[in-house]
Amino acid sequence: MRESGCVTCAICGNETTRVGEQQGVLDGRSFVIRSCDQCGFAFVENPRQDFERLYDERYYRGEGADSLVNYAYESEAASRTIRTYEWSGIHRVYAHLAKPGCKWMDFGCGNGEAVRWAREQGTEAWGYETGWAARLGRAKDIPILDEQALDVHKAEFGFVTAIEVMEHVADPIHELRRIRRLLKRGGILFLTTGNAEPWRRNLLAWGYTKCPDVHIAFFEPRTMGYCLQKAGFRPCQMELTDGLIEIIKYKVLKNLRVRDRNCAIDLLPWRQIAKLVDARYQVSAMPYGVAI
């Protein structure tokens, strides 16, 4: 938001500071990164608006703005991709945090493979997504709702996930309020997004800000806690549970550009590795929300 020459924070309304510029990967466009001292929110001041082009088939095949994304492969090779560690990890978080048997919505579910995984474990899971990735999932009969259908399912879910979604949205509080409306009172929102806090003095060196075509919002745990409160949630502290360890395992392998799971991977001491990764990147510090 621009007011008489200054750019105010979309979260707390305070004045923000220009951090610097980051080069996009799609067409070399330059993006201005700003941050707010008050709440810790950082964001791209001039985000792209051509969403149809950004989130097209090329993006989901890893040929677009983020080369670490490959939903098409994960859909085709669902039983052997390392993404299975993440699906399994999210389902464990569900089992740990949510009321037994409650309905689960994966908000921004991409190709919907986490939903398929959960359904195979007997959980009544649904997805929400738009565009090419949603069509990919629906072709496999995964129940992925569109924007209109979402409105019909108010206060229906006991658990909502938003996995690596919040860094893509221009108005985080608006999205969190949409999620809040899907949840029953006492329901849980579990989200993952990068933690900007360890990078506070060096934001431009952080991997999340290096995809400014698509990553446009960056949060510290205190920022997310504040956003959750504004959207009708009580923020709660995560623990490094088995589910989160599996999610971290997936993140580590993804960044090492490992594609498929194998026996050698499973022999590694992932609890210890996850603790080291968590000490550096503070993954578990990001709060989850309880709908109030």
The binding site for Zn ion (CB under 5 A) comprises: 9, 11-12, 14, 36, 38-39, 41
Three-state secondary structure string covering 97-151? HCCCCCCEEEECCCCCHHHHHHHHCCCCEEEECCHHHHHHHHCCCCCEECHHHHH
> Between 37 and 151, whose beta carbon lies closer to Zn ion?
37
The nearer residue to Zn ion, 38 or 46, going by C-beta atoms, is: 38
CB of 110 to Zn ion, least distance (A): 29
C-alpha–C-alpha distance, residues 228 and 189, integer Å: 9
121-145 as b/e: b if 16+ CB within 10 A: eebebbbbbebbbbebbbeeebbbb
| β-strand partners of 35 | 17, 42
Nearer to Zn ion, 11 or 189 (CB): 11
Tell me the C-alpha distance between 227 and 41, whole Å: 10
Residue closer to Zn ion, measured from CB, 12 or 77: 12
Q: How far is the CB of 189 from Zn ion (least distance, A)?
A: 21
Closest approach, Cβ 41 to Zn ion, in A, equals 5
Alpha-carbon distance values, 123 to 94, 136, 156 (Å): 10, 21, 14
Nearer CB in complex with Zn ion: 11/160? 11
Q: Smaller CB distance to Zn ion: residue 11 or 33?
A: 11
Distance between CA atoms of residues 94 and 115, nearest Å: 12
20: left (phi over 0), alpha (psi -120 to 50) or beta: left
Closest approach of Cβ 227 to Zn ion, in Å? 10
Shortest distance (Å) from residue 226 CB to Zn ion: 8
Q: How far is the CB of 14 from Zn ion (least distance, A)?
A: 5
Q: Which CB, 41 or 128, lies closer to Zn ion?
A: 41
As a whole number of angstroms, the longest Cα–Cα distance in the chain is 59
Strand partners for 7? 2
Nearer to Zn ion, 9 or 274 (CB): 9
Separation between Cα atoms, residue 272 and residue 258, nearest integer Å: 19
Alpha-carbon gap, residue 150 to 49, rounded angstroms:
23
Least Å distance, CB 178 to Zn ion, is 21
Nearest distance in Å: CB 43, Zn ion: 9
* Token pair for 116: 């398929």
